[in-house]
Amino acid sequence: MASNPLPLAYLRTVIFDFDGVLADTMTEMLRFSDQVCAELGYSRQTTPQDIEALPRMGFDHLARQLGIAETLIPKYVEKVLRCFEESPITYSLYDGMAEVIRELAKDSVLTVVSGNLQSVIQRFLKKYDVNQYFSVIIGIDQPGNKKEKIEAIRRDLSLSIPTFMIGDAVSDILAAKEAGAISIAVSWGHQDRNKLLQAHPDYFVESPKDLLDTIRSHPSSRSE
């Protein structure tokens, strides 16, 4: 990522997770996982409860949850990601999220950090005509863990303005805290409210509109 000075209009950096925050991909995640499990000789079906139980969100952790042999996990991850890459986008942008994106883009730098592929995210954002609002998109195919990627965004954009990390998983909250970002957990994603609250996010929101209001009302602004 290039380091460019931010215009004074930008008050904050907002980092979105992709699956479960912007895109409603649960159905596809389960279907692609089952397809790959069958290809690898496993009859185990993937359930929402499997995803709910993950200590850290990621297809490698999901493979372990499903009992896939450690030696086959890289192949499982590669095949699931290829399913996302090669399949048409049948999943949706969450209701109300397009308006939130357009509003936040007026005074925020918008970015994505995800466990999905960069090309998948770009194709999805383009389909829903919001790609032009995002300055940085970092997928699983780029080096580093989520904490390191959040830190890189903060370092490359600006450490003098607050950074918000919006996620639907405990691992998003933990990565945000470790990287010095403000954590916001959402109710509409892949992990349960109680599990998320146990990780003590800075904020928990019930809808995209609540998300916009929470960010806008946060008592911080550009350092003078």
Is residue 186 within 8 A of residue 35, CB to CB? The reply is: no
| 60-106 pLDDT per residue, tens | 999 999 999 999 999 999 999 999 999 999 999 999 999 999 999 99
Q: What is the pLDDT of residue 9?
A: 63
In 34-186, which ranges are E strands? 108-113, 134-138, 163-167, 182-186
Boundaries of every domain in the chain = 12-24+92-217, 26-86
Cβ atoms within 10 Å of 156's Cβ, excluding its own: 15
Determine the CATH number of domain 12-24+92-217. 3.40.50.1000
The answer for residues whose C-beta is within 8 angstroms of residue 137's C-beta and 6 or more apart is 111, 112, 114, 118, 121, 122, 125
Q: What is the pTM of this model?
A: 0.90
